[in-house]
Structure 1
Amino acid sequence: MAPAIRLFCFPHAGGGTAAYRPWVGALSPEIEVVPVPLPGREARIAEPAHERMDTLAEQVTRELSPSFDRPYAFFGHSMGAGLAWEVARRSAPLGLIASARRAPQLPTRRRLMSQLSDEQFVAELRRLEGTPQEVLDEPELVELLLPTLRADFALSESFRAPAGRKLHCPVVALAGEGDSEVDRAELTAWQDATTGPFRSRWFPGGHFYLANGAPEVLAEVRAAVLEFAAAARLTHHA
């Protein structure tokens, strides 16, 4: 039997599809997890990374649209949450799970990593713990990846949704209690990014609280996606 719903998963700045591969088996058979590959990394490393959220969202929407032939939802972590929201504006997901990011209508209040020197930039990447330390310990790898990393952070830091733009689907916002990149007010503000239902939840951990596929995080993601699907069925029958 085919999964009831597809879950497209958008990566954090500098991230790729690898973080979501453990989810594929963990959320089946009800949910088909589809990690979204972005330009400038992994098999697409030869493609230039985008520095503007709108142009990236337009390209990603075009590329994913053939796969919107089954009910689907979005999950995005950090930069990926902003990208998921922008792609959702251009499509019709059943719902959005936004992780570890301020609401799209809010400007960043934090130090702009994209403007740091290379040395400072790499130090911040180490602090955030979203890039494998073995990668950051290899100068040649760092040199190869820096353009994409900087482009991602420039895109993420500069992105702010135009006033009044909203989704019309449920939104669930998740974050780590020790995350220095998003506070409670910024996470709760996701309720103003949609006309649909909203709820939020905090987990132990920092910015990458979901690392290693924590069972309680996956349980929350599964529950949210199945709630999206159930709500859509109720709406259809009504």
Structure 2
Amino acid sequence: MKRRRLTPLLWQFGEHPPSPARTFVLAPFGGGSAYALAEWLPRLLTEGESALALQYPGRGPRSGEPPAELLTELAAQAAREIDARTEGPLVLVGHSLGAVLSYEIAHRLEAAGRDLELLAVSAARPPDLQRLDPAAVLAMTRDDWLTELATGGNADIGESALADIVDLMIPVLRADYLLLARYAPGPRRPVACPLLATGGAEDPWVTRDHLDAWQAWTTGAFTGRLLPGGHFYYRDRTADFCRTVRDCLRPAADRVPAAGPRHGQEA
């Protein structure tokens, strides 16, 4: 699927600009890039819909930039750019780190008056139950990172190949882990939009209880789904995952009509 850069942070997938019918915004996992979740799109999108993905600094075409240091600042930037370059309903979908980031983006977009049709969080603990500690992340050795990658299945490659590329992956992973480790959500602030929490039944880091705990983070409808697999369960269940997301969307007749082009749409 074709992609083009709208901003350094925001990449568009597909042939057409963001659609007033519905725009999906994808936020990748720690260590991932804007391309990491592209496998969802053939099954996630239908005619007339569009997709954007976040390209975090410090990787891919942004490898020369310093990594983000605060998750809330990254969320604020993403929300501003999404608001300026889209119209109509939005569906935020994030995996792991991207799920928590999507929650923070959702808050800002709701404050801007945007129509959030769904916040879908995948393989993530809610903001107040994060497992990472900054000092522990900074103390991780190369062997620790190899164990972490092997445990979570972060790279779909064999152990020998993983050992060959881990030195390239560690700086990006460390920066992304620190985003979560240093994240302080403050008092609980539920979003108003519906929330879907999905995960893998064999995920070593995110349990069914963690997924169910997301219910307290929305005043809208809540749906929890557990699929077979580990932290990256969707790799073998892409169709099931995408169907689960689409089952939570509003019928076309119930969508809020777009209010016309938004300020900054052509920027």
Could you say whether these structures have the same fold, taking a TM-score greater than 0.5 normalized by the shorter chain as the test? yes
Does the CA contact (< 8 Å) of 2:118 and 2:194 recur in 1?
yes
Tell me how far apart the structure 1 counterparts of residues 188 and 206 of structure 2 sit (CA, whole Å): 22
Tell me how far apart the structure 2 counterparts of residues 186 and 110 of structure 1 sit (CA, whole Å): 18
Report the count of equivalent residues: 232
Bigger mean CA offset, 74-83 vs 183-192: 183-192
TM-fit CA distance, 1:182 = 1.1
1:79 aligns with 2:103: no
* Residue equivalent to 2:213: 189
Tell me how far apart the structure 2 counterparts of residues 177 and 54 of structure 1 sit (CA, whole Å): 29
Tell me how far apart the structure 2 counterparts of residues 150 and 231 of structure 1 sit (CA, whole Å): 43
Partner of residue 18 from structure 1, selected from 35, 48, 63: 35
**Between Structure 1 and Structure 2, which shows a larger proportion of helix residues?**
1
* Residue equivalent to 1:46: 64
TM-fit CA distance, 1:227 = 2.8
Q: Deviation digits for residues 147-170 of structure 1, max 9, x if unmatched?
A: 221010111233242113221111
Tell me how far apart the structure 1 counterparts of residues 33 and 80 of structure 2 sit (CA, whole Å): 19
1:69 aligns with 2:92: no
TM-fit CA distance, 1:136 = 2.6
1:7 aligns with 2:21: no
Partner of residue 100 from structure 1, selected from 123, 139, 156: 123
Structure 1 residue runs of 5 or longer lacking an equivalent are none
Does the CA contact (< 8 Å) of 1:4 and 1:31 recur in 2?
yes
Q: 1:114 to 1:228 in 2, by over 3 A?
A: farther
Percent identity at matched positions?
32
* Residue equivalent to 1:57: 75
Bigger mean CA offset, 72-81 vs 124-133: 124-133
Partner of residue 245 from structure 2, selected from 210, 216, 221: 221
Q: Deviation digits for residues 24-68 of structure 1, max 9, x if unmatched?
A: 222222542322211111111111111321122122223323223
Q: SS state of the match for residue 250, structure 2?
A: helix
* Residue equivalent to 1:176: 200
* Residue equivalent to 2:142: 118
Q: 1:231 to 1:53 in 2, by over 3 A?
A: farther
Q: SS state of the match for residue 91, structure 2?
A: strand
TM-fit CA distance, 1:110 = 8.7
Written as runs of structure 1 = structure 2, the 5 A alignment for 1:123-202 is 123-133=147-157, 136-138=162-164, 141-202=165-226
Tell me how far apart the structure 2 counterparts of residues 132 and 102 of structure 1 sit (CA, whole Å): 22
TM-fit CA distance, 1:172 = 0.6
Partner of residue 35 from structure 1, selected from 53, 66, 78: 53
What is the TM-score with the length of structure 1 in the denominator? 0.86
Does the CA contact (< 8 Å) of 1:81 and 1:99 recur in 2?
yes
Does the CA contact (< 8 Å) of 2:30 and 2:176 recur in 1?
yes
Q: SS state of the match for residue 94, structure 1?
A: strand
Tell me how far apart the structure 2 counterparts of residues 180 and 229 of structure 1 sit (CA, whole Å): 38
Bigger mean CA offset, 213-222 vs 78-87: 213-222
Does the CA contact (< 8 Å) of 1:176 and 1:202 recur in 2?
yes
TM-fit CA distance, 1:11 = 0.5
Q: 1:110 to 1:185 in 2, by over 3 A?
A: farther
Does the CA contact (< 8 Å) of 1:23 and 1:33 recur in 2?
no
Q: SS state of the match for residue 169, structure 1?
A: coil
Q: 1:88 to 1:9 in 2, by over 3 A?
A: same
Q: SS state of the match for residue 121, structure 2?
A: strand
TM-fit CA distance, 1:71 = 1.4
